[in-house]
Structure 1
Amino acid sequence: MTLIHHPRRILAYIVLRPALLWSLISMIFFLALLFAVRWSSADAASSMEYVSLELVPVQLPRSVTVPDIAVSDNAERVTIEEKKPEDEPPRFGDDSGQFGDLSETSRAPMPIYSRLPEYPVSMRKAGIEGVVIIEIGVDESGTLVYGRGIRSLGREFDLAAMTWVRSIRFRPGLDREG
Structure 2
Amino acid sequence: MALCTWSLCIALILCQLCQQVSSSRVAEGVSCSQPPENLPDSEEPIYISCSVKVPEAFRRRIQENLRGKDTLDVVLRLRGFDSFLEVSLQEVEGLDVTGGECFMDIQRWREAPRICYLASLSKADKLNGNTLMVALLSWIDQFSPAYGCTKVTILDVSSIKEMYVLSKAGFYYQSFGFQHAPRANQDGI
TM-score, shorter chain, exceeding 0.5: no
Structure index of larger Rg? 1
Q: More relative contact order in 1 or in 2 (CA 8 Å, sep 6+)?
A: 1
TM-score (norm 1): 0.23
TM-score (norm 2): 0.22
Greater strand content: 2
